[in-house]
Structure 1
C-alpha cells in the first residue's frame, strides 16, 4: 500500500509542477494533496514539501488553520468564473449549468475559509 501511496503522491507533485507553468492549473492544491498522502507513506517527502520556500507556508497555513490567502481566493474564484462561462457557452441543454453549479459550490467553500 505504501508504494501505491508514494506513486499517487508523486503524481500530485507532478501535477503541481505542471501547474507552475500552466496558468489554468493550480499548484498549491496538488501539493497539499501530495503532502497529505506523503504524511501516511513517506514522512521525509512530506517534510520536503512543507519546507519548500514558496509553497510550504501556504500549505502549512491550510493544513493547520484552514487558511486560504486572499490572492489565491481571487485566482480560484476567477478561474471558476471563467470555467463556468466557457461551459455555459459551449455546452447544450441542462449540461450548460453543471460547471456553474459545481464551481459555485467550490467557490462557496473557498470563500468560507479564513484569509491570512
Structure 2
C-alpha cells in the first residue's frame, strides 16, 4: 500500500530554489552557525536557536552543510531529535536552566533599571516553561 505524500514518513519534495535564493539561504545558514558557535562560549547568548536556524537554512540550500551539521558530534544529536518531533533532551533542558539561572543572577546584580531586569528574567522564564514542556526523546 503506497504512503500518502503528506504523511509524516514521507516528506513532500520541495522544488529547488533559484540560485540567488539558495546562496542567500546558505549565507544565512553560515551566519547562524557562526552566531551559534559564538553563543557556545559567550554567556547569555543563545546557541540552540542559531544552530536550529542554520540547519533549517542549510536543508534548503546546501545538502552538504546540512549533512555535516547532522553528523556533528556536538550539534547532530540535538538536530536529529528536533527534526524527529521537536524533542529536547533532559540534559539540554537542565543545561539551559542552569545557564539562564546564572544569567538571571548577573542581570539582577548589574541591572540599572529594575523593569529591564524583570523583562529579561520574565522572558527567560517563559522560554524555560516552553522548553520544559517539549517532549524528550525515548
CA deviation string 1:4-49 (max 9, x = no partner): 21111101222233345x1635544432221101111222211221
Match of 1:94 in 2: 115
List aligned pairs for 1:50-89, cutoff 5 A: 50-89=70-109
Contact 1:15 1:27 in 2 (8 A): yes
Match of 2:60 in 1: 40
Higher Rg of the two aligned structures? 2
Q: 2:124 aligns with which of 85, 103, 116?
A: 103
User: Aligned partners of 1:109, 1:74: CA distance in 2, in Å?
Assistant: 13
- How many residues align structurally? 115
CA deviation string 1:62-90 (max 9, x = no partner): 12121111111111011112222222232
Deviation at 1:93, TM superposition (A): 3.3
Match of 1:11 in 2: 31
Match of 1:112 in 2: 133
Contact 1:89 1:96 in 2 (8 A): no
The structure carrying a bigger helix percent of its residues is 1
Secondary structure of the residue aligned to 2:80 is helix
Which sections of structure 1, spanning at least 5 residues, go unmatched?
none
Deviation at 1:54, TM superposition (A): 3.5
Which sections of structure 2, spanning at least 5 residues, go unmatched?
1-20
Secondary structure of the residue aligned to 2:87 is coil
RMSD: 2.0
